[in-house]
Structure 1
């Protein structure tokens, strides 16, 4: 009963404070206000969301004002300079009042509140009916990043990271799982601010399917990272923040999903927070089937430089098609704890396990149209399996020097990933009957250590400095054996057998300073990265020897961020950063593909890093019903790495090369609009102009002398305009039922020799809250019209090839979420229930990392 009285008192005081301000608007508006910000935390330095912060002006009550903290405990308010009594009230915490002299704009730092003593569970029942209304937006814009709230996406419930990324600003996902930002696929992935074993060492969709959507809280989109972040990833950084608990007592949720093809999963998030100790246990697994469809249609000459070679029969057209079936099993689990040694020191530790299994069956049919008007057919069938095991251990220590924001943090991460695959390939093609075995193993080990220090300087400034060591070792083994009648041997397939050992050591240090002068804010930083890379090639056959490589380079990476506030939630942003793209380790491996002998991926031992200069000018306007965030950007990447395609002796060979310069300028417009309380609109429009220039050489057999080779030169100058458009509409049918319709469109674009055709798809999601908010039923359809596919036309010296690829057809699923909770502060999600049409009950579980 006392809690009800206290809550009512909070609401009355909040209402009274706002009434006073509104009643004296004409007087106060004429006064010069300054922006004051801060953060409310508890004794364990955990954020206290939705706390009431009242500033009572001691000289003139007409200047008094009040506000609520956001979900991270932060607040910002405009005040007339003067002497104020600051009163903080939050459910479950003791009321505190302190005196502050407000003279200039600035940050008050952390304001600490003390938790009330725990009561019986009946205390929770007393406060369940209280609703405090606040405003949340699916996308939050900060000076150096955008943050996407995953809870706003109904179409991803019961899905995985790949489903979530389809609606993230500035991000696109190809049907094969390739992720790009503003048209570039060189994206750096982080989980909770660091590389993670959850993503494994797979490339494409396999990695994205390893993290369930139910474990993701938000995604930070960093198109121009500051000096505090790694300089790698010229397109930018996607930082996946997993859910963590802010509630006392035992809390958790279980999510089960059933779907077609089929698609099943079961995931749970459990946590316990009591006193100085918080622990968590997350885990789950799933089974998925997919059906892929691929075809290529090529018109070419075997000897393009000698089309009239006497006595040579060469193909004029070749067509091949595949309808594959893939089976995936995924398991992951994380456990850890955070312990507060005292008010200023805390330690955390966690371990993550991951296992991914897959089976595939990929039959290929060949149809060749020969020059003598005859047709030759053949087939190729590949059956295989893959297993990927990952383990990661993390340890961290945090020290708070004082309550003004001076902090020191240390973290250490050890990771190991082991991927092993086998394939059996039967082929009857070009009058040859072959049977091959393919074995591939990748072992990856890494150590990442970080130390960061932050020091507030006055009320407006922050100084950061840090160091990071990143050591990686990848061992690749690629082995192809051919059945020669009396057993399997390397005879006939010698060039494809190799072992490669890749070692990388990166030492990095950064310094960064952030401050604000009236309405002008700035952040400058400098990062230095020293890279030492060693590559040891051990070719089993000895027929394609490559000299070992050592690559050492030291680079400086500056970053500058400027902002100017026109008013609250109304500002201009200007930034610049320089970044690097180191060649992916498996790009340097001689061979890592043999599934299709007519289409080979070949590594390039001579790849060098690419460097990019990136500029952005943005505007951010956030109102109650709408937000607008247009960004004009310019990027120029030198020694750009792209896939070069060559037709050599009847085989298409794809190889990464430093091709030249990639330059683009564009307008990326993100927006949200709530025309009515039951209708929310969120979307993005990215229009850009691109220009790609470069050239490359490749060798092929001389048709007049098989013992000689000739050099072929390919140059390109691709330019044009392209666009990406996405929009989601969310409809609140009633307080418990929501529907979301999401559309995506990507226009055509030419990159080097690749002419990528337009692509579009539409998703649908719906949720129904049940069991008095403890449960949610969700239904979604991915790719309603079955249009999500990739179509590319490639043109080169003597050939034109069109390719089509659909990773998986239309899918739908039904999910059930059950939330169980007890203890203090479990009422917090209920405060937000009537605010967000996409609210799923507000579970906030997961690793506090």
Structure 2
């Protein structure tokens, strides 16, 4: 931890030093840009300071609404250039500096009829095309000229949806991996919404990958979205500040800053706040052998106070080499209260015992992360590149829970219990990726990744004996988990104007070790696997394209799947891990089509997934206590269809629909019992967006998820709606935002486990969340809806 703190402090000193240097020998340039026809000010005109020797830009900015600008430079020899799309460019060579200032006054520029004609010809509408293993959304003039943020651009990408709070989903699923120029970036961290500091005219294209090739981790994700920026990034200071308040108890403040110069792109984000998550909980454990049962009803309040700081910089050594260094520090204070009544009934449905169980849990969670990246492009071929990166993430949790059982019916003694956990986790990833195109239509990709996970969890459960808390030796231990994964890959691709093929192979070597120190029980696993992939695409015409893909994926059991620590919030319903758990493997096949018909864009895909060693939670029941733990149970074959449609009938109205249906067949057994069964499930999501007069936007999101079966459980269907409204003020530089999650308080989590000898029911509901926020953007930063989420 001390080492990471030193790195963070060193990084802060470097950033501050850069700012100090940039303040020396500064020349301040001011002026106002207007058009010649009527003298109206021109907003978003570009003012550029350039080097007269190599004609390359040094620093730049854009004009405000009144056409004014302020620009600073430390250069000694430079020229000033003023430009705006559709207007003639005006240049000032050898400007006169007086007392460190250049006052250009009012600069008049005229329309360029020839350039306007070119804009009409070349200004394309944004469109999506298939590129082998991905879909590419090219940002046209219809979006890049609007001043929209990256989040708004994403919302125009088929099968991608961004709700009014900035949360991104792909084909209806969240958990999307976001990349900037092909690499992870804190700017792309969905929870921070720093994407608001990027505007549409900085974006060249957006790449969507739903079935990743061998180039990417074999671990499954909901998909990958890569935002590719133009080479000519806007210079100057961009940022946004946001203040939120809401009920129940949702208050946060967020600040994002992004400063671009000739050599440096400095970015930072600061956020802190407090949130409360109340919920109503119900459980029922019914013993069908003697017809007795235990029920509980209670409330739970989880309070979180969090702080988050991001600092980073891109250093452009030259046009072909860039180094990125970023760091993140976060801290969270948790306080959780639970209060429930547990009642025991006999076979005659008569109450025999009851007690009240109260819980107070307190925890602190610090987190550190850092990232160092180097990217090299090669002269003469913009697609050739080398990317090296090293990242580190460290997380800790110090948690204590106190439980008090107070008897209200019956003769049972009162009970005091305590649980504690001292947890630490370190994750390190080292990557190298190289892309080499040749013969115009062929591309070779190769690279390697080494990932280390190192975890220690010291946990204990104690009972009070009247004097002291005594650890229960059966429920107290120190769990160590280490996982090392080495991956090496290679892909080759051919791509013509209409047809393409990409094949790849990834090798991963996995080394896992677990140890329970107190009982000296170890479980080591070492295995290696090949993960092939293949993708092809065919463009029938400009409005219809087809894509097919195959990949092999793996799910490795994570910490809480393996950790045998018991959660005793409910002594009659306990969950734990399984250190013997094996990974599950999936062969994924997918065929997708994209079709455009006027103002409607549609994606229709069918898929088949064959999964072996499926991980499912198995419930065992004894003495009215249920204990669930993950187990590997058989195979699963899933066939499904996914349909996405986006309809934009006018510039003030749009509809987006995501529909998913899957049918599965499960074959498996556990401890001699067959778990063969069939089932299906489906979900749909409809998003309606309205742009009203007075810069008011409304958003309605309706969700339905059908009920479905697992090995032992039936999950209840779910229907709910979210609502959002926002109004732009101060010419769009500020936004007032209102969001209501679960408008009708209908979103629930309910599962029923029905077996020959027992019946279990678990129910929880959080209710409605209302948030009101205001955001202000400055520079070219967009006002945005900082959600106030924690960063863990």
By the TM > 0.5 criterion, same fold? yes
CA distance in 2, matches of 1:718, 1:424: 42
Query: Residue in 2 aligned with 1:729?
Result: 688
Tell me if 1:681 matches 2:670.
Answer: no
Query: Residue in 1 aligned with 2:212?
Result: 225
Query: Residue in 1 aligned with 2:481?
Result: 502
| Equivalent residue runs for 1:690-709 within 5 Å | 690-697=664-671
Query: Residue in 1 aligned with 2:440?
Result: 459
| Equivalent residue runs for 1:647-796 within 5 Å | 647-697=621-671, 713-734=672-693, 736-796=695-755
1:428 shift after superposition: 3.8
**Cα deviations by residue, 1:592-623 (Å, 9 ceiling, x for unpaired):** 42222111112212111100000000001245
| Equivalent residue runs for 1:445-456 within 5 Å | 445-456=426-437
- In the comparison of the two structures, how many residue pairs are matched? 675
Query: Residue in 2 aligned with 1:555?
Result: 529
- The partner residue of 2:266 within 252, 275, 279 is 279
Tell me if 1:474 matches 2:448.
Answer: no
> Does the C-alpha gap of structure 1 residues 630 and 116 become closer, same or farther in structure 2, counting only changes over 3 Å?
farther
**Cα deviations by residue, 1:561-604 (Å, 9 ceiling, x for unpaired):** 11000123531010000011111122222224222211111221
CA distance in 2, matches of 1:569, 1:356: 50
Query: Residue in 2 aligned with 1:531?
Result: 510
CA distance in 1, matches of 2:222, 2:721: 26
CA distance in 2, matches of 1:665, 1:300: 36
Tell me if 1:298 matches 2:278.
Answer: no
Q: Which moved more, 1:160-169 or 1:674-683?
A: 160-169
> Does the C-alpha gap of structure 1 residues 222 and 329 become closer, same or farther in structure 2, counting only changes over 3 Å?
farther
Query: Residue in 2 aligned with 1:420?
Result: 398
Contiguous gaps of at least 5 residues in structure 1 = 7-41, 49-88, 96-113, 155-159, 173-178, 180-186, 200-207, 302-306, 308-313, 698-712, 830-838, 844-849
Tell me if 1:610 matches 2:584.
Answer: yes
> Does the C-alpha gap of structure 1 residues 805 and 474 become closer, same or farther in structure 2, counting only changes over 3 Å?
same
Tell me if 1:395 matches 2:372.
Answer: yes
1:93 shift after superposition: 10
CA distance in 1, matches of 2:307, 2:106: 35
CA distance in 1, matches of 2:505, 2:258: 39
Query: Residue in 2 aligned with 1:54?
Result: none
**Cα deviations by residue, 1:744-796 (Å, 9 ceiling, x for unpaired):** 11011111111011101111111111111211111111111111111211123
**Cα deviations by residue, 1:206-265 (Å, 9 ceiling, x for unpaired):** xx9x924465789986442111110012x6445697999932011111111111112111
CA distance in 2, matches of 1:594, 1:549: 25
CA distance in 1, matches of 2:578, 2:106: 62
| Equivalent residue runs for 1:371-450 within 5 Å | 371=347, 373-375=349-351, 376-405=353-382, 406-428=384-406, 431-450=412-431
- The partner residue of 1:486 within 467, 477, 492 is 467
CA distance in 1, matches of 2:785, 2:404: 53
CA distance in 1, matches of 2:303, 2:785: 33
Query: Residue in 2 aligned with 1:799?
Result: 758
**Cα deviations by residue, 1:417-453 (Å, 9 ceiling, x for unpaired):** 1112110011246724211111112211121111111
1:298 shift after superposition: 3.0
Query: Residue in 2 aligned with 1:357?
Result: 333
Query: Residue in 1 aligned with 2:235?
Result: 248
Q: Secondary structure at the match of 2:431?
A: strand
CA distance in 1, matches of 2:733, 2:244: 17
Q: Secondary structure at the match of 1:773?
A: coil
Tell me if 1:573 matches 2:547.
Answer: yes
CA distance in 1, matches of 2:92, 2:768: 50
CA distance in 1, matches of 2:92, 2:436: 27
Tell me if 1:169 matches 2:170.
Answer: yes
| Equivalent residue runs for 1:102-181 within 5 Å | 143-145=132-134, 150-151=151-152, 168-172=169-173
> Does the C-alpha gap of structure 1 residues 189 and 484 become closer, same or farther in structure 2, counting only changes over 3 Å?
farther
- The partner residue of 1:819 within 766, 773, 777 is 777
Q: Secondary structure at the match of 2:152?
A: helix
2:86 touches 2:111 (CA, 8 Å); kept in 1?
no
CA distance in 1, matches of 2:759, 2:502: 49
Query: Residue in 1 aligned with 2:203?
Result: none
> Does the C-alpha gap of structure 1 residues 165 and 643 become closer, same or farther in structure 2, counting only changes over 3 Å?
farther
CA distance in 2, matches of 1:750, 1:724: 14
> What is the TM-score with the length of structure 2 in the denominator?
0.77
CA distance in 2, matches of 1:761, 1:128: 54
Q: Which moved more, 1:161-170 or 1:658-667?
A: 161-170
Highest RCO, 1 vs 2 (Cα 8 Å, sep ≥ 6): 1
1:506 shift after superposition: 0.9
Q: Which moved more, 1:568-577 or 1:370-379?
A: 370-379
- The partner residue of 1:517 within 482, 496, 502 is 496
Q: Which moved more, 1:665-674 or 1:792-801?
A: 792-801
1:150 touches 1:164 (CA, 8 Å); kept in 2?
no
**Cα deviations by residue, 1:176-221 (Å, 9 ceiling, x for unpaired):** xxx6xxxxxxx7867767789999xxxxxxxx9x924465789986
Contiguous gaps of at least 5 residues in structure 2 = 1-31, 38-54, 62-80, 96-100, 138-149, 156-160, 199-205, 787-792
CA distance in 1, matches of 2:106, 2:568: 61
> Does the C-alpha gap of structure 1 residues 809 and 743 become closer, same or farther in structure 2, counting only changes over 3 Å?
same
1:773 touches 1:841 (CA, 8 Å); kept in 2?
no
1:532 touches 1:553 (CA, 8 Å); kept in 2?
yes
Query: Residue in 2 aligned with 1:368?
Result: 344
**Cα deviations by residue, 1:264-314 (Å, 9 ceiling, x for unpaired):** 11111111111111111112112111210111223214xxxxx5xxxxxx5
**Cα deviations by residue, 1:366-396 (Å, 9 ceiling, x for unpaired):** 1221135531222211110122111111111
- The partner residue of 1:325 within 301, 308, 311 is 301
2:287 touches 2:624 (CA, 8 Å); kept in 1?
no
CA distance in 1, matches of 2:775, 2:105: 25
1:333 shift after superposition: 1.2
CA distance in 2, matches of 1:796, 1:581: 28
Q: Secondary structure at the match of 1:616?
A: strand
1:170 shift after superposition: 3.0
> Does the C-alpha gap of structure 1 residues 420 and 755 become closer, same or farther in structure 2, counting only changes over 3 Å?
same
1:494 shift after superposition: 2.2
Q: Secondary structure at the match of 1:587?
A: helix
Tell me if 1:336 matches 2:312.
Answer: yes
CA distance in 1, matches of 2:645, 2:110: 34
Q: Secondary structure at the match of 1:586?
A: helix
